A and B are shown apart, each in its own frame.
Chain A
Amino acid sequence: MKFSNIKYLILRRVVQITLLFLYFAGNYWGWTLLQGDLSSSSVLQTIPLSDPFAIIQMFAAGAVVGTNALLGALIISLFYGIIGGRAFCSWVCPVNLVTDAAAWLRRKLYIDKIEPKIWLSRNVRYYMIVLALIVSAIVGMAAFEVVSPITILNRNIIFGIGAGMGLIISIFLFDLFVVKNGWCGHICPLGATYSIIGKYSLLRVKHISENCTLCMKCKEVCPESQVLHMIGKYSITVNDAECTNCGRCIDVCDDEALEFSIGKYIKKNKELK
């Protein structure tokens, strides 16, 4: 395997694990570079960062939220809204490690070719946002934060392993045996939130149709394969909000038909034809 086939995969794992390590060190050794967890953190004890979806749920629950947390949510929203798109899911989220492992094993075991497929709408995640807000308002507590495998896994890594790992194993088994890319690609409302926030972000995968040999390796590895509808047809950027900018399609492409580009606003899609 060539390095160019796993370049972004390795880069992503380095980013993910470094961030988790810094969180862990923030608790275990008291490093101040990154403290807290993915719900809310502080960088060097000055810059706040917080999860915009958690903040919205807290509003729905009727909380009066402090300014630091609001500022943190604004910083995160601006970063992913202008630059990263849905990059949180593939570059930061620890559950991505679990569900990518499940997807990899699913391909190795040919489960899609052996077991009958269970269909689940990819829009469930957007309904989950609405449900989370309704439940938060009814119960008076941020509803997704009680069940979120993202923060549960994150806290298990930072503050010590607990029974919450059962949920993480369940997610792994769900993705492996029930629905392909089931959690991240269908259910997770946090990912859906970042899809909405990053709808018009600049970082995009670009397809160059002339180079494409229609091998379809990209669609095979893509966790949101519906966003690659243009493969072999026309040269445009991937504009669907569900693309996580993971770069796996760019990695596996041997024909230089895919690459990262900066936004549809800077280079007009028409010029690429």
Chain B
Amino acid sequence: MAKNKVKISERRKFFTDIAHHVGLGTMGVLLWAGYTQKAKSSPLTLRPPAAIDEKDFLKTCIKCGLCAEACVNRPQNFDKEGRKKPGTIKMAKAQDDVTIGTPFFKPRDVPCYMCEDIPCVPVCPTGALDINKVTNPKTKELDIRLMDMGVAIVDVHSCIAFWGLQCDACYRACPLLDEAIKLVYNRNDRTGKHAFLEPKVDPDVCTGCGLCEKACVTEKPAIFVLPRDVAQGKVGDHYVRGWDKADQQRVGNRKETEIKTKDERSKQAPADYLNKGLEY
């Protein structure tokens, strides 16, 4: 029996203690970080006006709900009988597909009415909603048209205007009438005497308020707002509008020699790949 007795030396105890703490700490970090990484992923979320870039927004939003409270309690949000209507900005609950506790809105439920005094933004204590984003740099006045919460997208298959029916519900609901959504007239070849009145969104003007999505007459809206980084592509540096100085600046003032245009394929001489069966 004596041989089974292990003497626990101070040294052994010291190293086992360290391993114990490091091991438990690592377990905690891995579990917690794994959950948090998942919990912060909600790419289709529409944030309140003047929200900073989503990645920074998640860092900076303290989840206090002051924006949501300013939204729902604004004086314009009462109906004729003096009853309060639901606010646009909601605080995410655990069951919403949005990082818990962060503010968001769903335009089909309650769109953003683009209040001119923007009550939701100045109350933000952390700067997650950045008042500078909705302040006109020249006049220093708040300008709700500067916000870019998202951009409206039209599904041409379910939009009845593309069937040839005259709808224009979204066009008339748009607070930037005939600027953010324009109606494009196209000839209807099926009847030969009517026109399609097709809605077309100008993403440079559209603020993503979602009044069009709310107004859309189809069962599931044929026009809907998506966050800009989801809805829009990016040209990158490969294509530049050479005739536009501003576009040249977008790419930066790189020297021509710094632009890399050669790749593996460029090493080979132009080949007659059809006849010689060359593969790249």
Contacts and interface: CB of A to CB of B under 8 A. Distances in A.
Contacts of A93: none
A132 B31 CA distance: 12
Given A30-B73, A64-B56, 12 more contacts: A37-B65, A42-B66, A42-B123, A42-B125, A51-B62, A66-B126, A69-B127, A138-B33, A147-B36, A155-B93, A158-B65, A164-B94
A36 B93 CA distance: 16
Interface string A180-211: 00000000000000000000000000000000
B35 interface: yes
Contact of B91 (A61, A72, A155): A155
B65 A66 contact: no
Given A27-B68, A27-B69, A163-B93, A139 B127 contact: no
Nearest to B70: A35
A163 B95 contact: yes
Contacts of A48: 125
Interface string A53-94: 011001001111110110010000000000000000000000
A54 B126 CA distance: 11
Chain A CB within 10 Å, residue with most, of B55, B59, B124: B59
A146 interface: yes
A146 B21 CA distance: 24
Given A39-B64, A135-B36, A143-B36, A62 B59 contact: yes
Interface residues of A, number: 55
A140 interface: yes
A39 B126 CA distance: 11
Interface in B117-134: 123-127
Contact of B59 (A63, A131, A162): A63
A155 B55 CA distance: 23
Contact of A65 (B24, B25, B60): B60
Interface string B7-22: 0000000000000010
Nearest to B40: A141
Interface in B48-62: 55-56, 58-60, 62
Interface string A23-36: 00011011000011
Interface string B238-272: 00000000000000000000000000000000000
6 contacts: A39-B101, A142-B59, A146-B35, A152-B100, A159-B90, A160-B93
A29 B94 CA distance: 24
A139 B65 contact: no
Nearest to B69: A27
A29 B96 CA distance: 24
A40 interface: yes
Contacts of B21: 127
A26 B62 contact: no
B273 interface: no
Contacts of A58: 59-60, 62, 126
A135 B59 contact: no
Chain B CB within 10 Å, residue with most, of A131, A141, A163: A141
B33 A162 contact: no
Given A64-B60, A145-B62, A146-B35, A159 B68 contact: yes
Interface string B138-182: 000000000000000000000000000000000000000000000
Given A135-B33, A146-B40, A162-B94, A40 B59 contact: no
A26 B69 contact: yes
Interface in B85-127: 90-91, 93-96, 99-101, 123-127
Given A39-B63, A141-B59, A163-B94, A65 B126 contact: yes
Given A27-B65, A35-B69, A66 B36 contact: no
A49 B59 CA distance: 19
A134 to B, nearest CB: 5
